[in-house]
Chain A
Amino acid sequence: MHLAHYLRLLHRSQTALAEAFREIRRGHPHEPDMYGVCERLAVQCRDQARWLEPFVRRYEPWTSPAQEPERLHQPLFAGTRPGGLGLLRDLHDLYLLVTECDIACAMIAQGALGARDDELLDVVRRCGGELAVQLLWLRTRMRHAAPQALVVAS
């Protein structure tokens, strides 16, 4: 039984994501729209991580920490970069990080089906819905920024 590994993976990714949203907010203080949205999404990610904690505890007894696969956690975001192109790259990294959470959610949802755990299924589906909006927002924001950052800025 490795469900707890995956739950921990998701938990860590969401915690990292919350911190990444905050870092981007701090790293780009002059962007007119970053503050409100990033803060909101950071809170959302932190809440998601909290929702998972009871399930990590629920499945831990069946999982040995020693069995955790190598390189389960890969850091995807390593700090902000300045400027228009920097913002685009930061949002790009964030997009990958959210995708990581999103696909982990999808896998855990499959696991929850196998474990007949409706409660877990409900939680990861809620997470999945919120992550989908996060992806849409990042995509929207990057699409708007890309022409100026890639073609105009010197």
Chain B
Amino acid sequence: MPEPIADHGGRRTPYGPPGGVERLAAALPGRLRDALPAEIGLGSPWPVRVDTFLDEGVTEADVDAWVQNVSATHSSGDALDIGVRDGRIVGVRGRAVDRVNHGRIDPRDRHGPSTAGDGVRLTRPMIRQEGRLAECDWDTAMDTIVRRSKELLGPPGGWGRLGFYTGGRLLLEEHYTLAVIAKAGIATPHVDGSTRVGDATAAAALKASFGADGQPGSYTDVDHCDAIALWGHDMAESRVVWERMLDRRLGPRPPAMIAVDSRDAQVAKEADVHLPVRSGTNIALMNALLHELIAGNRVDAAYVARHTIGFAELCRVVEAYPPKRAAEICAVPAALIEQAAEILGSCERLVSTLLPGFYRSNQATAAACQVNNLHLLRGMLGRPGAGVFQMTGRPAGQHARETGASGDLPGMRNWENPDHVRELAELWNVEPAAIPHWGPPTHAMQIFRYAEQGSIRLLWISAADPVVALPHADRVRRVLESEELFLVVQDLYLTETARLADVVLPAAGWGEKPGTVTGADRTVHLCERAVEPPGEARADLDVFLDYARRMDFRDRDGAPLIAWHDAESAFEAWKACSKGRPCDYTGITYDRLRGAGGIQWPCTPSTGHGAERLYAGGRFATDPGVCQSFGHDLATGAEWGAEYYHAREPRGRAFLHAVDYEPSSEAIGDGRPLYWDPVSKQPIYSVATVPVTPDAATDAEAAELADVRGGAGADGVVPVEVSQRLEEV
């Protein structure tokens, strides 16, 4: 892939930060900003530059229509228009009005996931007959699934025999509909998706520190900041946000940049300070940086006293990490750590972003929490230029988490809070007992484990190809091949996973279905249908709605459980679910999104604007009635429980989590696999990529990554590029 600067023929657009008045204005709530005089620049100063990528031989004049959509290749939420000619997608163009990308797009967006050539898409449902997949009509396929579902649901414990695994292509409306089908229709907690592979740590760290999921910051923080810290994040992979950062770096008063990454990442070349820490030692580095801030009296004492809990314990723990000690653990010079601490301690507006280097490493959640700690200690949240991005990997990652399709109850509700469960029961008009809330929703690897053990008998995989994407493919394949398991696969292509299915359902892809996508900085974008799906392929939403209708899910008054019938009515239903929660969508409508730029949540009808930043004024979502989780022990995942949480009296203050560095319990780099599969005699590297609890598996992951990177292999150990294999195509 060519370097983005070259892609645009040197069309860089350097810019400087807005002035103090504009920064003050940016800190105001949207409705106050509307009242300001027009001469105060309210928009972002980042220049607009519209990128267009058209098929060879096609010019803009040839395009019949430009249809509003959003990037389907990553989670940044770059808004774009799809160019259509004669019913076919012929190109893409960035949307100039959008707050996220100001017209820029990633060249990779030209080839959305469903634009592969003709003839390879699934166009008709298929059903397994005498061991082979044969085409059939929709009625046959759906009736078969419904018959099997009802058979399994009959005996006691039927709910536990069905499981759902989703992927990054589903839109918000589809994730929410599936969540309601699973949690209220079938009443199973077994719903998760590949989106969690990249997201579990981000979500866990946000909940642990701030009480709820959701990025505190906004991409406009890049405009205002005077320092950028990239924690294990090769930001250059997120092209457009990276361009925004580079444009700031080329303009007047550029921000300083720190990159922490063990890889020889692109960001390392750009950064002023690059800390190539030894794999799995992030906690030691973070503790040293916090040590320097505290020792150098760089802490915003008033903010810490008023808005946080746990400062004394944090001081006690980081005291043992002077840079010299961390330098030994992390294998970087102490002077570099001091240099980084100097930048972090002296900047006034810091933007942090995190990705795999922190998430897929030893003590992952704890390390991500230390970045939150850094921002809390310096009071660097909730104001222009000061933000944390616990980034997500997949386009659907953020809204999958919010809608309850991966790892939480819908509307970012707390399964341990009976009031939250009651809210959902009232919304759906079902008995609270019908909503599984005896534990957290089952995580992806556990779902496959239950299928392996034979207690999950029907697994419905939509928009994901776990046979290719999950580690230890042969084991996943063996599970899905089992005669006992009824496998439904809903996808664009006859994937490796689909080949094992009992029923294959052809789905519509990018540009072929309407709905919304929520990007990493909480910006909600509308996708309109640009082209028709091929053959009989259907939007995933229509498939789920059809299933709900055929299953005849009812509420407690006998009315249909799912009363919506298309994307817009599903969005309205989701808005009702989000009402009053941190992710409040009630002020967003399709009409407001149509023709305009994306809107951030929370957005209520009274404001008309989305809140650009969360936690302004240091008020966090940690009140027991609001919070999404009562917290975990970061090392084991043990749940603290409601009583302990109440006793800490968080009262809207954020939690500072203090954690000592612990080397991974695995022998790093000696080539030992995690453990040996007794059946296949193969090493199993990464059964634990989605921890059961935020941190339970991270030690193991670190070891496996170290094994992989170190290249040291015992006999028969095949190094697997885990990070690559986790990225689904």
Contact = CB atoms under 8 A, between A and B. Distances in A.
Interface in B430-466: 436, 438-440, 443, 445-446, 449-450, 452-455
Q: Which of A35, A133, A141 has the most CB of B within 10 A?
A: A35
Contact of A144 (B633, B641, B662, B692): B692
Interface in A1-48: 29-33, 35-37, 39-41, 43
Contacts of B688: 32-33, 35-36
Interface residues of B, number: 46
A143 B436 CA distance: 13
A147 interface: yes
B400 interface: no
A70 B445 CA distance: 46
A29 B678 contact: yes
Given A40-B636, A83-B453, A140-B637, A33 B438 contact: no
A33 B448 CA distance: 13
A95 B724 CA distance: 39
Contacts of B449: 30-32
B698 interface: yes
Contacts of A31: 449
A33 B695 CA distance: 9
Interface in A51-107: 83-84
Interface stretch (B156-164, B581-589, B596-604): B156-164
A133 B636 CA distance: 8
Contact of A39 (B638, B639, B699): B699
B287 interface: no
A137 B637 contact: yes
Interface string A124-154: 0000000001101101110110011001111
A134 to B, nearest CB: 8
A44 B475 CA distance: 31
Given A32-B688, A33-B691, A140-B638, A147 B438 contact: yes
A37 to B, nearest CB: 5
A41 B446 contact: no
Contact of A30 (B452, B638, B662): B452
A136 B692 contact: no
A124 B674 CA distance: 33
Given A137-B633, A137-B637, A43 B665 contact: yes
B699 A40 contact: yes
B157 A137 contact: no
Contact of A153 (B443, B455, B636): B455
Contacts of A29: 675-678, 684
B629 interface: no
B698 A36 contact: yes
Given A29-B677, A140-B639, A39 B665 contact: yes
B687 A137 contact: no
B675 A35 contact: yes
A152 B161 contact: yes
A36 B696 contact: yes
B368 interface: no
Contact of B700 (A30, A36, A137): A36
Q: Which of A33, A134, A151 has the most CB of B within 10 A?
A: A33
A30 B696 CA distance: 15
Question: Which applies to chain B's interface (DSSP): helix, strand, loop or mixed?
Answer: loop
B665 A136 contact: no
Report, as a range, how many residues of chain A touch the other chain. 20 to 34
B414 interface: no
B172 interface: no
Contacts of A141: 692
A83 to B, nearest CB: 7
A33 B637 contact: yes
A148 B156 CA distance: 11
Interface string A111-123: 0000000000000
Interface in B152-198: 156-157, 159-161
B564 interface: no
A59 B675 CA distance: 42
B636 A37 contact: yes
Contacts of A37: 636-637, 696
B693 interface: yes
Contacts of B436: 147
A43 B454 CA distance: 33
B677 A40 contact: no
A84 B692 contact: no
B377 interface: no
Contacts of A144: 439-440, 692
A147 B439 contact: yes
Contacts of A152: 157, 159-161, 450, 455
B700 to A, nearest CB: 4
A152 B635 CA distance: 30
B160 A40 contact: no
A148 B455 contact: yes
A33 B639 contact: no
B452 A33 contact: no
B697 interface: yes
Interface string B304-337: 0000000000000000000000000000000000
Contacts of A143: 438-439
B640 A136 contact: yes
B444 to A, nearest CB: 9
Contact of B160 (A32, A134, A137, A148): A148
B453 A40 contact: no
A134 B635 CA distance: 11
Interface in B665-699: 665-666, 674-678, 684, 687-688, 690-693, 696-699
Given A40-B665, A137-B633, A152-B161, A84 B640 contact: no
Contacts of B157: 151-152
A43 B699 CA distance: 13
Contact of B696 (A33, A134, A154): A33
Nearest to A26: B675
Contacts of A134: 636, 638
Given A29-B675, A84-B453, A136-B640, A36 B697 contact: yes
Contacts of A36: 665, 688, 696-700
B143 to A, nearest CB: 25
A29 B687 CA distance: 10
A46 to B, nearest CB: 12
Contacts of B692: 32-33, 141, 144
A136 B636 CA distance: 9
A59 B331 CA distance: 44
A17 B449 CA distance: 26
A139 B639 CA distance: 9
A84 B74 CA distance: 37
Contacts of A148: 160, 450, 455
Nearest to B699: A36
Contacts of B453: 83-84, 153
A32 B678 contact: no
A133 B690 CA distance: 22
24 contacts: A29-B677, A29-B678, A30-B449, A32-B687, A32-B690, A33-B446, A36-B665, A36-B697, A36-B698, A37-B636, A39-B699, A40-B636, A84-B450, A84-B453, A133-B635, A133-B638, A134-B638, A137-B633, A147-B436, A147-B438, A151-B156, A152-B157, A152-B159, A152-B455
Interface of A: 29-33, 35-37, 39-41, 43, 83-84, 133-134, 136-137, 139-141, 143-144, 147-148, 151-154
Given A136-B640, A137-B638, 6 more contacts: A32-B449, A33-B693, A35-B697, A36-B697, A84-B453, A133-B633
